[in-house]
Structure 1
Amino acid sequence: MKKGQILEGYIERVDFPNKGFAVVEDEEKKVIVKNTVPEQKVRFAVNKIRKGQAEGRLLEILEHSPEECQPACPHFGVCGGCTYQNLPYEKQVEMKEAQIHAMMDAAVDGDYIWEGVKESPVREAYRNKMEFSFGDEYKDGPLALGMHKRGSFHDIVNVTECKIVDEDFRRIIKAVLEFATDTGLPYYHRMRHTGFFRHLLVRKAVRTGEILIDLVTTSEAQLDEARLVEKLTGLSYDGKLAGILHTTNNSLADVVKDEGTKILYGQDYFYEELLGLKFKITPFSFFQTNSLGAEVLYETARSYIGETKDKVIFDLYSGTGTIAQILAPVAKKVVGVEIVEEAVEAAKENAALNGLDNCTFWAGDVLKVIDDLGEVPDLIVLDPPRDGVHPKALEKIIDFGVERMVYIACKPTSLARDLELLQGRGYQVERIGCVDLFPSTYHVETVVLLSQQKPDDTIEIDLDLDELDATSAELKATYQEIKDYVLKEFGLKVSSLYISQVKRKCGIEVGENYNLPKSENARVPQCPKEKEEAIKAALKYFAMI
């Protein structure tokens, strides 16, 4: 196998994030091909070989999977926004659950309760915020306004029929594209660093229906503000137009950056409601993009945290303080730490808006600020950015020694890395569940409950060694010895739960209440066939069966 080679393969499985593994005839190793689903037959070009692992660029789907369906969006496959619109929603959730469950099984030491993936309450038109980019669909083509093409940093595809936003978003994007085209002004070229139109940011409150529109340009030309306002106020909306804004951004980075925002119409904020609380949202506020899904996420986190009465809670990486304010009514005090100063000011304003006087918010890096907080928490909530928690900050967090910690992760690979350190310092994973905030994409939020056994959590027992049958099967090998054997001989990590399940199948007595679920609806993972056979081999090796 070599770079540039055109091959055909069968997609055996898809791992997070969006990594399909293609089995190629007469090739020993599988090839990673993105934007595929299991059971497809595909043609691809090998474009990378790194550390013995080949990666391919999808050229053509030769045979569709029997699980596929007709995508609802006409832009799917060209637009880089969605990955799984060609799968029924139930199959999307099933695939996400399998991916994250496998990752967590590999990352967690010991047993835990796996609670699966909670579905998004809405599956289409679920986003409350979109950032569209100006560009062209092909070199020197007409002006386009939409999303980046799949696999491209430069080309933009018009998404006037996008299905993950509602009709108001689609009306706005069509109107702004018409306006920009009529001006004759060019889009900002990210390589040449010249041009005028850069981005269009649209936000809409799900509960109130209020809409903010922010056109982002450079200062290279003069915006016809009156004409833009006339164009947008003349539209018919299902919601209510709260404000039209113009943001100037001359930075070289291809991101929406506020270097000055002018209100052209109305105001620069609206209010959104979440779990009975009100939140002031500005164009650049951090707020979960699926409002109804966020309610499910925060309710899940709240249930994991458990009893909070008379407790001091640290909400680290607190953003605009959403989680802090949801917990504040049932806690003694909540302390939030966030590095973005604007988000901290918004959190303070929102807390006052909701009449919460037991929330305090600190601006700064968690790594540095955590030393200055002046109190010790009873519980900690971690909701870090995609890269997870800085190892040095995590060490300081662990040093607080709280009994319970809840970690909310938007990137499971970062979570898996951080769990290694947390477990190495005495924390054990009790429960893991996911919430799908991003239908049609590979993204998913993961919530983990960790607890730490205190040194005084001990019991005294009287043990008569003479009564022990040292030849009984259950004493021939410890669970750890079985785990070590399976890892060494088969390269598989197995949990104590899986070992106990296989022991039961083989007629070996194990604890009667071993790892029973902590709630009636919790799902206890069942040992996969491959791991069951490996565990049986270990039991035979240790003469237990």
Structure 2
Amino acid sequence: MECAHFATGRCRSCSLLPVPRVDQVADKSAHVRTLLDPLGSPEWLEPFTGPEAGFRNKAKMVAGGTVESPTLGILTPGGAGVDLRDCPLYTPRMHAALGVLAHFVTLARLVPYDLATRRGELKHVLVTEAPSGALMVRFVLRSTEPVLRIRKHLTTLLSQLREAGSPVEVVSVNLQPEHKAVLEGPDEVVLHGETLTMQVNEVGLHLRPQSFFQTNTAVAAGLYRAARAWVGELAGDAESVWDLYCGVGGFALHLATPGRRITGVEVSAEAVVSARTTATELGLDSLDFVTADATTWALAQDEAPDLVVVNPPRRGIGDDLAGWLERSETPYVLYSSCNAQSLTRDLAAMGSLRPVRAQLLDMFPQTGHYEVLVLLAR
């Protein structure tokens, strides 16, 4: 992948860009095998890779510069804006959309937030692109002061993005009033639409503002297909399933099959609403989604299922849930991890569940990060 921003030193986020892709994947494979093989020597499937460029479905752009000349990208250590609207990690449609959004900053007089003076309103512009080209656009603001101006010019924004090839399904404002390195706040004001439909395999996942979704749609599709195939081989041994940290229901909805009872658990109420919406559309009445902390919910249950799927944040599932899984009678665990270090700690805490199959998925090309899917059997 060629990137002028990396070549000139303006952005070094893709730290492995000088390394050939084949070597990146080989190094990641060696790293994860070093961690997991001592715990059970699982069968390793070939790594799953997607495109090396144009794969990111979400742009998290820091607003910089001025109202008349805004930048959308990152900030230098000194606080100056670095414009990355043409970052090769995004599709050409996203590039065009980001250009329209930069123009909208000027049109709606959205003053970029200045870290040094703590003045200004617009902190981030967050854009998610569905495979169809449709968008979710979120403006992260310090206060509600600019909301009326955004509403005033919203029709123009929707029209210009549609003309650029990106119809908009959701526009919202997120409020993050605090001066600290936090991407977004808890409060959301939806100005247009409701959900963005992310078509993944044959499942149209509904994504609301503040809902988590994998940043690489092609690799996420491969992840869910692998999970479905592996669990399918368990047949009658996986009639009852928990999907913990289920998000918008990616795993649960892909694992749904006649006779299999699945409960998804997710702390985000917005994500649970999205998952229920998709299940209803697909006519899947054997799925139930619960808004709760995954660990608290699991520890309160009287019986363990045949299979527990976990897809936790980078910190892993932690000692309490790992300890419960170790003590339970659950025969299988399917663990999807974006942090092999925390995964290794968790697996060490449930030693009677041994990794029997694993696959690396190159979810984050040009970086040292990756996803790994592991099937554990007691």
Residue 289 (structure 1) aligns with:
215
1:435 correspondence with 2:361: yes
Residue 292 (structure 2) aligns with:
364
Query: How far, CA to CA, are the matches of 1:86 and 1:416 in structure 2?
Result: 29
From the superposition, tell whether residues 87 and 102 of structure 1 become closer, same or farther in structure 2 (CA, over 3 Å).
Answer: same
Query: How far, CA to CA, are the matches of 2:353 and 2:332 in structure 1?
Result: 9
Query: How far, CA to CA, are the matches of 2:78 and 2:33 in structure 1?
Result: 32
Deviations 1:206-239 (A, max 9, x none): 0x22122222222274352234542552253234
Residue 175 (structure 1) aligns with:
100
**TM-aligned CA deviation for residue 192 of structure 1:** 5.0
From the superposition, tell whether residues 232 and 88 of structure 1 become closer, same or farther in structure 2 (CA, over 3 Å).
Answer: farther
Deviations 1:293-343 (A, max 9, x none): 111111222233332446101111111111011111255201111122221
**TM-score, normalized by length of structure 1?**
0.63
**TM-aligned CA deviation for residue 171 of structure 1:** 1.9
Q: Identity across aligned pairs (percent)?
A: 26
Query: How far, CA to CA, are the matches of 1:273 and 1:153 in structure 2?
Result: 40
Residue 377 (structure 1) aligns with:
305
Query: How far, CA to CA, are the matches of 1:286 and 1:185 in structure 2?
Result: 26
From the superposition, tell whether residues 329 and 292 of structure 1 become closer, same or farther in structure 2 (CA, over 3 Å).
Answer: same
Residue 41 (structure 2) aligns with:
111
Deviations 1:410-462 (A, max 9, x none): 11111111111122xx222212211112222222110111111xxxxxxxxxx
* Conservation of the 8 A alpha-carbon contact between 1:185 and 1:196: yes
* Conservation of the 8 A alpha-carbon contact between 2:299 and 2:321: no
Deviations 1:100-140 (A, max 9, x none): 222323xx3343322242111x2221122221111359xxx
* Conservation of the 8 A alpha-carbon contact between 2:73 and 2:84: yes
**TM-aligned CA deviation for residue 356 of structure 1:** 0.6
Deviating more after overlay: 127-136 vs 365-374: 365-374
Query: How far, CA to CA, are the matches of 1:323 and 1:220 in structure 2?
Result: 36
* Conservation of the 8 A alpha-carbon contact between 2:206 and 2:248: no
From the superposition, tell whether residues 116 and 190 of structure 1 become closer, same or farther in structure 2 (CA, over 3 Å).
Answer: farther
Query: How far, CA to CA, are the matches of 1:201 and 1:179 in structure 2?
Result: 14
Query: How far, CA to CA, are the matches of 1:91 and 1:240 in structure 2?
Result: 38
Rg comparison, structure with higher value: 1
Query: How far, CA to CA, are the matches of 1:308 and 1:154 in structure 2?
Result: 55
Query: How far, CA to CA, are the matches of 1:133 and 1:359 in structure 2?
Result: 38
Query: How far, CA to CA, are the matches of 1:344 and 1:317 in structure 2?
Result: 10
* Conservation of the 8 A alpha-carbon contact between 1:377 and 1:400: no
Given residue 135 of structure 1, which amino acid in structure 2 is its aligned partner?
Answer: G
Residue 300 (structure 1) aligns with:
226
Residue 3 (structure 2) aligns with:
73
From the superposition, tell whether residues 317 and 221 of structure 1 become closer, same or farther in structure 2 (CA, over 3 Å).
Answer: closer
* Conservation of the 8 A alpha-carbon contact between 1:212 and 1:268: no
Question: What secondary structure is seen at the aligned counterpart in 1 of 2:349?
Answer: helix
From the superposition, tell whether residues 314 and 331 of structure 1 become closer, same or farther in structure 2 (CA, over 3 Å).
Answer: farther
* Conservation of the 8 A alpha-carbon contact between 1:80 and 1:148: no
1:187 correspondence with 2:112: yes
The aligned runs of 1:77-476 (5 Å cut-off) are 77-105=9-37, 108-120=38-50, 122-136=51-65, 143-149=70-76, 152=77, 154-181=79-106, 186-190=111-115, 192-206=117-131, 208-219=132-143, 221-223=145-147, 224-225=149-150, 226-227=152-153, 229-231=155-157, 233-235=159-161, 236-253=163-180, 254-263=182-191, 266-305=192-231, 306-309=233-236, 311-423=239-351, 426-452=352-378
Given residue 128 of structure 1, which amino acid in structure 2 is its aligned partner?
Answer: N
Unpaired segments ≥5 residues, structure 2: none
From the superposition, tell whether residues 191 and 431 of structure 1 become closer, same or farther in structure 2 (CA, over 3 Å).
Answer: farther
Query: How far, CA to CA, are the matches of 1:288 and 1:362 in structure 2?
Result: 21
From the superposition, tell whether residues 154 and 420 of structure 1 become closer, same or farther in structure 2 (CA, over 3 Å).
Answer: farther
Given residue 117 of structure 1, which amino acid in structure 2 is its aligned partner?
Answer: P
Given residue 281 of structure 1, which amino acid in structure 2 is its aligned partner?
Answer: L
* Conservation of the 8 A alpha-carbon contact between 2:110 and 2:146: no
The aligned runs of 1:447-526 (5 Å cut-off) are 447-452=373-378
* Conservation of the 8 A alpha-carbon contact between 1:270 and 1:281: yes
* Conservation of the 8 A alpha-carbon contact between 2:158 and 2:167: no
Asked which structure has the greater RCO (Cα within 8 Å, sep 6+), the reply is 2
Query: How far, CA to CA, are the matches of 1:153 and 1:111 in structure 2?
Result: 48
Query: How far, CA to CA, are the matches of 1:390 and 1:373 in structure 2?
Result: 18
Question: What secondary structure is seen at the aligned counterpart in 2 of 1:256?
Answer: coil
From the superposition, tell whether residues 98 and 343 of structure 1 become closer, same or farther in structure 2 (CA, over 3 Å).
Answer: same
* Conservation of the 8 A alpha-carbon contact between 1:145 and 1:177: yes
* Conservation of the 8 A alpha-carbon contact between 1:75 and 1:161: no
